[in-house]
Amino acid sequence: MKNQINDKDKLADKLEGDEKEKIEAATKEALEWLDENQNSEKEEYDEKLKEVEAVCNPIITAVYQRS
């Protein structure tokens, strides 16, 4: 996701400023959480993934609908 929002051939040119900021914040927070919780259970990883998806998926859907 992080690579896609910075790649002009993928999403970078299609995202509005606040959309990109929301995705960047969600991915940054998730990566920090991963660094701090490397020994967590699978369920915790799955929950964190769901949190990131809850932010990113609606934005990605909106981008494709606008295209």
Contact status, residue 19 vs residue 59, Cβ threshold 8 Å = yes
Identify residue 40 by its one-letter amino acid code.
S
The domain 2-66 having CATH identifier 1.10.10.60: the answer here is no
**pTM greater than the 0.75 cutoff:** yes
Per residue in 17-67, pLDDT tens?
899 999 999 999 999 999 999 999 999 999 999 999 999 999 999 998 987
Q: Please report, for the chain, the start and end positions of each structural domain, with discontinuous segments joined by +.
A: 2-66
What is residue 44's predicted lDDT score, i.e. its pLDDT? 97
Distance CA 51, CA 47 (A): 6
